[in-house]
Structure 1
Amino acid sequence: MVAFMRRRTAAALLSITGLLVLALSNPAGEWWTALQQPYQSEDLIKCAYDKCIPEGDDWFMAHLNQTIHPFLTPQSNLSAKDFLWWKKLQRDPNDLAAFKRVVDKVFQLFPEGKGFMDSGSQRCRSCSVVGNSGNLLASHNGALIDFSDCVFRMNGAPTKGYEEHVGKKTTFHIMYPESAVDLTDNRTHLMLVPFKTRDLQWLISAFTTGSIKFTYLPVKAKINANKDLVRILNPQFIKYVYEVWLRNSGGYPSTGFLGLMLAIHICDEVNVFGFGADQNGNWRHYWEELKDKTLRTGLHSGTEEYRLIQKLAAKGKINFFPGH
């Protein structure tokens, strides 16, 4: 892991050095355009070992359950027990049979979520998970974030105007109906985190009739995204993250922490940015002014999630950039 990270860091420094040369030699703006070009598979740095994330830690391996598929598929067999737990998150009135009927309709419209599970000794997928903390500002980590093969972003997170600190590239944009935004890049995956059956119904509606405009809040009737790149997080995976990793802390996991755990399951190198409070101890989004400074993390256990992120970093499972 250390040897691999040194090689990858050296490659990153060479890439950044090249960009500095571009910045000096090219007309203004062209160097940033060059940075945004997607990396091709033949250019990726391969793993030095079978896995970039070392697996020789008892605590980590006791928590990691690779038998749970993180993506919902037509074959996902959600048990009655798991469904009853999930339906309580936002007081879903539907039963398991109704949920399964909606799932069947979902996969008549969207592809099965089987991608990104191609683990193997010849693959080393690097991922940047970008939270929404105000500590991203002044971090100057945009180029480092975009250097990853895949970039995860959450909810309403913008990149325009913040590229220097948060980057521009997005592979997965993770959202739920009440936080949904349009995706202007046709190569970005819309990752839906469903907290109730109506969220799946909204997903269908948002790509077809636009008839659902309200859940427990007003929601976007239609959404601009690539239908063929839609993925849905498995409710069983949400329950697993909550019970095994968070030890039942808070009401349920935050979208950001679910994104981090998804990355741990489908990536080989995980870089984490934008989690935790800012330097003044405020939990706020980097693009918004915090009006209520007593506002914390709501139903989510931000303290426990941050503690776990620090522990994963200390054990070498992720690279954590705490920001400023």
Structure 2
Amino acid sequence: GNYQLIDEDWQALQSLQSGFKKCVTENGLGLQAISGKDYCQVTLTYPSDTDSKWKDPKTGEVEGLSFEFNLCEAVATWEQVRNSTTILTREFIDALPNGWEEYAWRRINKGVLLNNCKNRTLCMEKLSLVLPETPPYVPRQFGRCAVIGNSGDLLKTRFGKEIDSYDVVIRENGAPIENYTEYVGKKSSFRLLNRGSAKALDKVVELDGIDIVADIPIRNTVYLMLGASFGSAAKGTGLKALEFALSICDSVDMYGFTVDPGYKEWTRYFSESRKGHTPLHGRAYYQMMECLGLIKIHSPMRSDPNRAVKWVPSQSAIRAARIASEKLLRRVGAGSEDLLSSCSILKKQVKRKHMSISSLRKAAVDHQKFVKGTTMYPLEHNPGHGQLCTVPAD
């Protein structure tokens, strides 16, 4: 890659950081962003009178009031998510060097018993229900998407009708709809399950009003997610759901995450409160995402559907900052205009089932043309964040 930063690159990073700080001040409900030692580092700080409630169960320490983030890492990684597929496919495992022997069995429940998939047929059988041949969705396939968390804050605002107006609604784990529709809506396009919920799949499926018949356990297709890694700031199903949404949608809005001041305990709208995880860190991370133009936050204190996120960077500003960030971070293919330069593994595509291009939204068609029909998959733990790419055979 070409890692040499030119003046324009430094200007792009400087302008991103200064706009970002204004955005956090304007939209963060008390949060402030302070520049770090360079154009990438920022620290998000809470007002000093914030009552930090969460204690680390291991150390007993109370969660701090300031959190460091790297804007360059965030811009480069999230922009990559927007161009990639986050669903595990057979094509991906086949294209991955030693994909079956070293990777596939890790994605199977009790996979360690499968002896590194020596019997590949058995491994394929175990994965067959959840393994599409090729990606079922492409970037920008859907327009407006909403990701619904499970926070008790949802009961403070009747967002139901508003949520149902989105093209796609993504829910998490076992969150019910029935009895709560005026708060959480009734539309449900996707449901993201962590391992715990996946084990109780039949219970979860009932939530969306799908009858379970003994011999056909599930009518909806089930997929496994691939992981990009974002460090530990905002872990869990919520972040995974945002990642999935950003890989298939034009715009992503979030509801039902605990992101307002005055946090007392982590509550869910359908059950008693329970031990939460780093609420202040999470809120700061989501605020960073909003101020990088990735998502828009809706919450009791931000309930106006027409709220404009002020000082959010333009697409061209993000693009310039991404190019600069990739050089600075020495990412695979940095400094190249060609999107395929970020591919550290390049393979020919499995013949695609003919997805009628005419049925896709214009944004998705434009994106397919831009990447010349390439599918990009994130590679976990890859130095330089290279991707696995499959390109059309003809």
TM-score (norm 2): 0.46
Q: Which residue of the other structure, out of 174, 180, 183, is the alignment partner of 1:165?
A: 183
Q: Secondary structure at the match of 2:86?
A: coil
CA contact (8 A) 1:134 1:277 kept: no
CA distance in 2, matches of 1:60, 1:249: 11
2:287 corresponds in structure 1 to 310
2:87 corresponds in structure 1 to 71
1:104 corresponds in structure 2 to 124
1:322 corresponds in structure 2 to 299
Larger radius of gyration: 2
Displacement after TM superposition at 1:302 (Å):
5.0
Deviations 1:279-302 (A, max 9, x none): 542112111122x5xx223xxx55
- Residue 153, structure 1, aligned to residue 171, structure 2: yes
CA distance in 1, matches of 2:283, 2:122: 35
Q: Secondary structure at the match of 1:76?
A: helix
- Residue 233, structure 1, aligned to residue 224, structure 2: yes
2:112 corresponds in structure 1 to 93
Deviations 1:170-193 (A, max 9, x none): 0001224235312465899xxxxx
Deviations 1:206-263 (A, max 9, x none): 9877xxxxxxxxxxxx85x31xx313123xx22x2xx3x2x2458xx41121111110
CA contact (8 A) 1:140 1:164 kept: yes
Displacement after TM superposition at 1:79 (Å):
5.9
CA distance in 2, matches of 1:318, 1:287: 25
- The equivalences for 1:254-265 within 5 A come to 254-265=236-247
Displacement after TM superposition at 1:133 (Å):
0.7
Change beyond 3 A, Cα 1:259–1:305: same
- Residue 296, structure 1, aligned to residue 287, structure 2: no
CA distance in 2, matches of 1:92, 1:109: 15
Deviations 1:36-90 (A, max 9, x none): xxxxxxxxxxxxxxxxxxxxx96554113347531111112256699679959x9
CA distance in 1, matches of 2:160, 2:295: 18
Displacement after TM superposition at 1:142 (Å):
1.1
CA distance in 2, matches of 1:96, 1:62: 34
Q: Secondary structure at the match of 2:191?
A: strand
CA distance in 1, matches of 2:189, 2:250: 15
CA contact (8 A) 1:132 1:285 kept: yes
TM-score (norm 1): 0.55
- The equivalences for 1:135-214 within 5 A come to 135-175=153-193, 176=195, 177-180=198-201, 181-183=204-206, 185=208
CA distance in 1, matches of 2:280, 2:248: 25
- Residue 274, structure 1, aligned to residue 256, structure 2: yes
Displacement after TM superposition at 1:157 (Å):
0.4
CA contact (8 A) 1:139 1:165 kept: yes
CA distance in 1, matches of 2:176, 2:166: 18
CA distance in 2, matches of 1:163, 1:97: 45
CA distance in 2, matches of 1:161, 1:126: 25
CA distance in 2, matches of 1:302, 1:103: 39
Change beyond 3 A, Cα 1:286–1:103: farther
Unaligned runs of 5+ in 1: 1-56, 189-205, 210-221
Q: Which residue of the other structure, out of 149, 153, 160, is the alignment partner of 1:131?
A: 149
CA contact (8 A) 2:265 2:276 kept: yes
Unaligned runs of 5+ in 2: 1-70, 302-394
Question: Which letter maps to 1:296?
Answer: G
CA contact (8 A) 1:126 1:150 kept: yes
Question: Which letter maps to 1:165?
Answer: Y
- Residue 116, structure 1, aligned to residue 132, structure 2: no
Question: Which letter maps to 2:125?
Answer: K
CA distance in 1, matches of 2:77, 2:128: 34
Question: Which letter maps to 1:93?
Answer: V
CA distance in 1, matches of 2:122, 2:300: 41
Moved over 3 A (4+): 57-61, 78-88, 98-103, 106-111, 183-188, 206-209, 277-280, 301-306
Change beyond 3 A, Cα 1:79–1:162: farther
Displacement after TM superposition at 1:306 (Å):
3.2
The structure with the largest strand share of the pair is 2
Change beyond 3 A, Cα 1:186–1:114: farther
Change beyond 3 A, Cα 1:185–1:248: closer
CA distance in 1, matches of 2:213, 2:90: 19
CA distance in 1, matches of 2:165, 2:110: 41
Change beyond 3 A, Cα 1:277–1:316: closer
2:13 corresponds in structure 1 to none
CA contact (8 A) 2:149 2:257 kept: yes
CA contact (8 A) 1:127 1:269 kept: yes
